[in-house]
Amino acid sequence: MSLLSDFTARYSSSEAWLYDRFIAPAVMDMGETMADDYLRLLPQGAEVLEVGCGGGQFARSQLDKRGDLRWTGLDVSAEQIARARRRNANLENAAFVVGDALELPFPDERFDALISIASIKHWPDQAKGLAESVRVLRPGGQLLVVEADRGCRFEDARSFVSRWRLPAVMRPVTLGLFRTLVAGRSLDLDDARALMSDLPLADWEVIRIEGTPAILMRGERRK
């Protein structure tokens, strides 16, 4: 089933390829804006879980900066996990597994940090997925979620879409698709705050990421 008809469906092979080749680099750039500060908080050798890792671009970029981290990427798409494994094949501290965000295949309190970028909008039950995310965090572990903002500014959406690796002539169409089919089916600030308020997190916050069409959700699992 296509994502156009069911946003919680798994990527088809063609959709996974299109996302990986043309859109993912712009998404990863957006996520990196916040992740750099976030990863500085982590101790040497920290274990990180990335939920919705796609083709492993973000893992690669972060491990190039923090080679001490032990990174696990999870995605529901077998095609994307295959790409992630190929892209990171020379890294001994990166592993990629097929799995569901709503039933993470890991024990309680396994990870020091959990990151998810542009994935939560696809989860059939976002509250359950976030509860699972916190479950696998150690006390004091860091949660960071970046997602498209349903209430984003037109200029921020246009700037973001301009960085997709597609011909400029396609930008009016892709901008419309992003605003209706992606951001339009995503979270706004109130949605995100309601989800975070029910979690056992300390010092959590939900903010718009300035200059981007995205929301940042972050917090620390209570000790």
A 10 A CB-CB count for 77 gives 22
pLDDT at 218 over 90: yes
Q: For the chain, what is the radius of gyration of the CA atoms?
A: 16
CA atoms within 13 A on the CB side of 142: 16
| pLDDT reported for residue 2 | 47
pLDDT grade for 15, boundaries at 50, 70 and 90: confident
pLDDT grade for 36, boundaries at 50, 70 and 90: confident
The encoded tokens of residue 131 equal 């509860």
Is the CA virtual torsion 120, 145, 84, 94 positive or negative? negative
